[in-house]
Copies of this chain bind each other. A is one copy, B any other.
Amino acid sequence: MRNTFHDDLDAITNTLVVMAQLVHTATKDATTALLTADLDLAEKVIKQDDQIDALQHELDAKTIVLLATQQPVASDLRALVTSLRMSADLERMGDMAHHIAKLARLHYPATAVPPESSLTIEEMGRIAGLIIEKVAKIIKDRDLKDAQQLAVDDDEMDKLHRKLIQSLISKDWPHGAESAIDLTLLGRYYERSADHAVSIARRVYFLVTGSYQVKE
């Protein structure tokens, strides 16, 4: 009986990894769609967000069935509750990619990102991709060093975010308020996505050690 239960737990972990991989692809594609005004790619990301949402619902339903039927305690219970939280984080990260893709679509055939900001946004997209790739690995391997390292990658994201906002409020910003609004939102989407990734890394750390590394 316990073996079946641990197979079920493994299946849940695998589904979380699949969700993270879908979020990774969505975020990469959304960034490409944004920077190259690729309408088809934006539509693809928008459409596929339903898949991530469906996966979350399915996963949560399975988790709740396990809670009810297996009545787990201690670390098994912690794993299931943590899984509910991680799926919520991943779903929100999917939403961020979805928001980015919608901004790309809104501006088509123009690009939403003016040339002055495209390198920063490209870099934010690259770091977001890196962070989400790591998160998939952290969920899979439960490596504590990787989990702690993620906060450092997030510092990089915060720096880029500040740089972006600084450029918008500088006297030389030539693109007016509308563009500043879009970039403010874009900056926040990437930053929030990375925050959710850090939150997942913390949950894995908690799962393994039973304590949070830092105040959440």
Q: Which residues of B contact A73 (CB under 8 A)?
A: 68
Instruction: Pick the contact of A180: B53, B77, B181, B216 (CB < 8 A).
Output: B181
Instruction: Pick the contact of A68: B74, B176, B181 (CB < 8 A).
Output: B74
Interface string of A61-78 (1 = CB under 8 A from B): 000100110011110011
Interface string of A158-189 (1 = CB under 8 A from B): 00000001001100010011101100110010
User: Is A88 in contact with chain B by the CB < 8 A criterion?
Assistant: yes
Instruction: Report the minimum CB–CB distance from A152 to chain B (whole Å).
Output: 23
Q: Which residues of B contact A168 (CB under 8 A)?
A: 177-178, 181
User: Is A126 in contact with chain B by the CB < 8 A criterion?
Assistant: no
Chain A interfacial positions (CB closer than 8 Å to B):
53, 60, 64, 67-68, 71-74, 77-78, 81, 84-85, 88, 165, 168-169, 173, 176-178, 180-181, 184-185, 188, 216
